[in-house]
Amino acid sequence: MTRGVFALVMIALAALVLLGMWLGWRSRARRHSGFAEHGDALIGAVVAGFERVSYVSTTPIGAPLERLSIPGLRFKGFADLTIRTDGATIEVTGEPAVHLPVARLIGAGSASRRVGKAVERDGLSLLQWRAADGSEIESSFRFPSPAEQLRFEDALTQILPAATPDHQTHFTSHTTQEDA
3-state secondary structure of 32: helix
Residue range 150-171, pLDDT digits in tens: 999 999 999 986 544 444 444 4
Report the domain count for the chain.
2
pTM, two decimals, is: 0.74
Contact partners, residue 106, CB within 8 Å, separation at least 6: 128, 129, 130, 136, 167, 168, 169, 170
Residue range 44-103, pLDDT digits in tens: 889 999 999 999 999 999 888 888 888 888 889 999 999 999 899 999 999 889 898 998
11 pLDDT above the threshold of 90: yes
Residue range 17-28, pLDDT digits in tens: 999 988 887 777
Give the other-Cβ count within 10 Å of 74's Cβ.
Answer: 19
Do both 60 and 6 map to the same domain?
no
In a domain, 140, yes or no: yes
Strand duo 105-111 + 170-172: pairing: parallel
Q: Domain containing 91 — which CATH number?
A: 2.30.29.30
Query: Dihedrals φ, ψ of 133, to 5°?
Result: -90, 5
- Note down the domain range covering 12: 1-32
The mean pLDDT value of the chain amounts to 83
